[in-house]
Structures are given as structure tokens and as C-alpha cells.
Amino acid sequence: MRKKLPIGIQTFSKIREENCYYVDKTRLALLLAEQGSHYFLSRPRRFGKSLFLDTLKELFEGNEPLFRGLYIHDKWDWNVKYPVIRISFGGGVLGSRKELDATLHHHLALHEERLSLAPLSPDIRSRFADLIRRTAEQSGQRVVILVDEYDKPILDNLEKPDTAREMREALRDFYSVIKDSDAHVKFAFLTGVSKFSKVSIFSGLNNLQDITIAKRYSAICGYTDTDVDTVFAPELEGLDREDIRRWYNGYNWTGESVYNPFDLLLLFEAREFRAWWFETGTPTFLVKHLSGKGFFTPDLAELRTSMTLLSAFDVDRITPEAILFQTGYLTIAKVEEIIPGQMVYSLSYPNHEVKTSLNEALLSCYLGEDEQSFPIRLRLIDILKKNDLPALKTLFHSFYASIPSEWYTRNEIARYEGYYASIFYSYFAALGLDIIPEDASSRGRLDMAVRFNGHIWLFEFKVVEMEPEGKAMQQLKERRYADKYRQYGEPIHLIGVEFSRTTRTIVGFEVEEG
């Protein structure tokens, strides 16, 4: 029987009382309560963090009727009710320290009013500590503290570093109260998009257990394949199950992969495959950061890093690996232990939606406007369908030649050699084609392989000074990159592309059959 789709609903009671679809996460809530007391969880936006926090709120407050029929119902002591202090930064943008202070005072005042407590201290830190202590004393139970979008005041101001630092210092002081009040705290759970380094915002809250990449909690937010096939079974009719998986599955934190809930709920409502999640918030800061750093976009398909780099996020140190992973544009594809205790994490796109949409956004940043890249993408797919290699050469020749010279002088990214190959790659990736960048073989690394429409195209890119030197095609043939692809029994085309460092155009475009 079909139920109401909980689109945009983050309130647990509303979902349960209005007969909405609900994916039962209470087994994991019970595990958290039994195994520890202070937790931190990082997940991308619109992944269900707020709903999970609200579930914890209702659980600790002992609202037993809401949990009937769920995993936890006969495993929880409903006779004990804990007072909950919940703080959320999800609504609106705070643009200054003054606005942040006002918001914190407002949150504390609401809880004081609810408990008929008069404020004792004028400063935020002391007022928060007083609230926790007096709440515990009044109720006779230790307090549960839930903080949603703990990092949003910082993230909203990353393009204003001075303001972001002020936000960071204020929040560090505020959150340190939770540790100092440990005797009065039963359970604490903080969620956000990013994990700031321990030397910044968490330096005063080092008793938090970070469960972001804990295998057992990988599916704490999001829907698993099993959830889709069982809970949402009535919605699957008329939709291709493999297309659903290819478009939206693949987010992973070392355990079971999940779908973004927002994507699936919009898909089930509209019955149309679109980049629902991506379209709700174009990652402007991320795209500017990647392009400004000269990030080599083919690396997005397979980026190897350490957990230190994945966690190394701060106002003064934003690594591409960390921001791409924490915001959900890359996910963990593989974990390797290269030596005992030393783990290497391979990151990749989670799915078709992110791969195509992120590369479209990068193209717009590289070129200055999407109106320029869209018609080229349409033309490119027509050319590939016809396997018209002369037309492919003409298309990219004319494209690079059309970029105004003043664009190069205005944009720092243009001085990087990888810029030219990055644009080439992003055009193909934005189409959602089967691409293997930096494909390794026993003879070296091929720059890019594309499989589409019964053909295989193997690309090698080189940057030269003025005149074509034939080095790209020479490498393709000498290293016999085509050998690896003969197993598919499809026509193979070798394409050597050379970019001029001086004229900033394609000066060499050789094509041979493999």
C-alpha cells in the first residue's frame, strides 16, 4: 500500500502520525545509547541528519506511542524520561558574530522559558552551563544535548575568512561547555556537514566519539538497497531499478552504501530522473575553490588519500580531498591497509547524478558561463554517436580557439597545465559517459579512456610550446595502451591531443585506429 512521501519533513512525530514512509533507524539509535554517550557525525546536506536527531529527541523524552512497531520499542525503558536540550543552526544564514550570539541567546532563552528558569548569567558560555546544570537538577535526570548543523555558521562564511574565524572561536567556546558539564550530561550528539580539525573547533570538546566513517554506522542516514526494495516497494512500479541504483546509490562511509533520501523521494513523486539533490544547492564555493587551486578534474574519478587529509578541514586550511568528501561530491570507494595501521582511502563519484552535475558546474566555472558549454555537450554526444572523429577534432579546435585571451589573464587556473585536459575530461564526464581517467596498465598510465556506443576512444594529452611534436600519439603507440582494451572486441581509436602553452589552443590532434 502506498503511503505519503515525507518530502521535506524532518519531524519524527509528523512522519509517524501522518502515515508517511519511514525507514527504521532505531536499531542504530539503540546501539548509540548502549555503546557510548558523546558522538559526532558528519554527513552531506539533505541526508536525514535532522530527522535522526529528532528521532533521538523523541526517544529520550520517552514518547513511546511514536515507536510502536519499530525495532527499539520492546528494548527501551519507557519509564525513564530524559530532558533534552536541542539546538539547530539549520534555519537562515548568520553573517556576523553579533548575529550568532543573538541566536545562541535565543536558543537558551527558549529552553529556560520552557522550564520556567530565569537566566542567571549574561554571557553565553555561563548561561549554557547554568541551563544544563539546572535542567538536570530540576528533572532529576542527566541531560541529553542534540546539536544540528553545528558548523553551518562557519560554512556560510567561508568566503569571508575573518568572519568564519570569529564564528569558529565563538562556537568552540560554546561547545566546550558540553565537556565541562559532563557530570550532568547523559548523551550528546552533534551533526554537521564538515569535520573541523581537532586543533580548531573541537579542541575544547575532545571527548566526542567520531562515528563518521564507523562501518557499523555507514547507513545511519540515507536509504539502503534493502530499504528501497522493501519500504518503498509500492513506489518502484514503472521505474527501472538499475537506473535508480546508477543515478542515486553509492554514498559510502566504509560500510553499506546508501542513497540520498531527498533524491529518491523526489524521484518517486515526479517519476523522473533528475539531479534533484545537486540542484538544491549548487556548490559555488567548492567549484571556485577547485578551479582556483588548479585541481586536476580527472582525479575526481579516483583520488587516493589518508584519513588525516579527509579530516583536515578548517577555515585556514581547506584541502580539496576534505571538502569534496565531506560535502558528498566524492565518497569512499575502497579502503586499503598498505602497512599495519596505515590506511589509504580511494575516493570516487558516488553516482551518475554527482558525476555529471559536478562536471557541468566545473565547466561553467572554467568557461565563465554554462551557455557556452551546453551546446558543445550536445554536439559532442552527436559526434560520438556517429564516431565522426574529424568533427571531434573540429569541435575542440574551435572551442579552445574561441576562449577570449583576456579570460586567461583574469583566471589563475589557466596557468596550470592540467587546465586544458581538465576541460576536455569534464565535457565527457558531464555527459555521464563511461570514462576511465589515468587508467593504469603494466606500461604506464593512459590519460583517458572512453567507452560508448560500441566504440573505445583512448586519449593522451601533452602540453607543448608552439608546434605539434607528435609525442601524445607516440606514447599511445609505444606503450601499447590499446592492448588492455582488445578484450571487449570493439573498435579502438587512438587520439593524441597536444595543447600549446603559448597560444593556448590545440595544435596537435592525431587519430589512428588501434
- Residue 163: which CATH number? 3.40.50
Query: Residue 504: which pLDDT band, with cuts at 50, 70 and 90?
Result: confident
Contacts of 255 (CB under 8 A, 6+ apart): 214, 215, 216, 217, 218, 219
Q: Which of 217, 236, 265 is a domain's end point?
A: 217
Tell me whether residue 243 is in a domain. Answer: no
Query: Residue 21: which pLDDT band, with cuts at 50, 70 and 90?
Result: very high
Contacts of 308 (CB under 8 A, 6+ apart): none
Cβ contact 319:448 at 8 Å: no
Q: What residues does 258 pair with on adjacent strands?
A: 251
Q: What is the pLDDT of residue 286?
A: 80
**Cell numbers that stand for 196 in this block:** 573541523
Q: What is the pLDDT of residue 294?
A: 67
Cβ contact 152:196 at 8 Å: no
Instruction: Report whether pLDDT(26) > 80.
Output: yes
pLDDT per residue as tens digits for the range 316-353: 877 888 889 999 999 999 999 888 888 999 999 999 99
Least confident of 322-336, 438-452, 471-485: 438-452
Q: Which of 170, 193, 217 is a domain's end point?
A: 217
Residues 362 and 297: their CA atoms lie apart, in Å, by 9
Q: What is the pLDDT of residue 282?
A: 66
Cite the DSSP H helix spans in 115-260.
Answer: 124-139, 152-155, 161-180, 225-230, 241-248
Q: Quick one: what percent of the chain has pLDDT higher than 70? A: 91
Q: What is the pLDDT of residue 303?
A: 87
Q: What is the pLDDT of residue 319?
A: 82
Instruction: Report whether pLDDT(411) > 60.
Output: no
Average pLDDT for 500-509 = 85
Q: Which of 154, 183, 217 is a domain's end point?
A: 217
Query: Residue 401: which pLDDT band, with cuts at 50, 70 and 90?
Result: confident
Tell me whether residue 64 is in a domain. Answer: yes
Contacts of 68 (CB under 8 A, 6+ apart): none
pLDDT per residue as tens digits for the range 111-145: 999 999 988 889 999 999 999 999 999 999 999 99
Tell me whether residue 102 is in a domain. Answer: yes
Query: Residue 397: which pLDDT band, with cuts at 50, 70 and 90?
Result: confident
Tell me whether residue 362 is in a domain. Answer: no
Q: How many domains does the chain have?
A: 2
pLDDT per residue as tens digits for the range 209-238: 999 999 999 999 999 999 999 999 999 999
- Residue 490: which CATH number? 3.40.1350
Instruction: Report whether pLDDT(383) > 60.
Output: yes
Average pLDDT for 168-177 = 93
Tell me whether residue 359 is in a domain. Answer: no
Tell me whether residue 187 is in a domain. Answer: yes
Burial class (CB in 10 A: 0-12, 13-18, 19+), 81: middle
Average pLDDT for 424-434 = 89
Tell me whether residue 486 is in a domain. Answer: yes
Least confident of 144-153, 256-265, 310-319: 310-319
Q: What is the pLDDT of residue 316?
A: 80
Average pLDDT for 302-322 = 81
pLDDT per residue as tens digits for the range 56-115: 999 999 999 999 999 999 999 999 999 999 999 988 899 999 999 999 999 999 999 999
Domain with 500 in it: 368-513
Contacts of 447 (CB under 8 A, 6+ apart): 298, 421, 437, 438, 459, 460, 461
Cite the DSSP H helix spans in 312-404.
Answer: 320-326, 352-367, 370-386, 389-402
Contacts of 161 (CB under 8 A, 6+ apart): 315, 316
Alpha carbon 506 to chain centroid distance? Answer: 34
Average pLDDT for 388-407 = 78
User: Residue length, the chain?
Assistant: 514
Instruction: Report whether pLDDT(245) > 90.
Output: yes
**Cell numbers that stand for 198 in this block:** 581537532
Residues 320 and 331: their CA atoms lie apart, in Å, by 13
Least confident of 142-156, 229-243, 255-269, 419-433: 419-433
Tell me whether residue 352 is in a domain. Answer: no
Average pLDDT value over all residues in the chain: 89
Instruction: Report whether pLDDT(55) > 90.
Output: yes
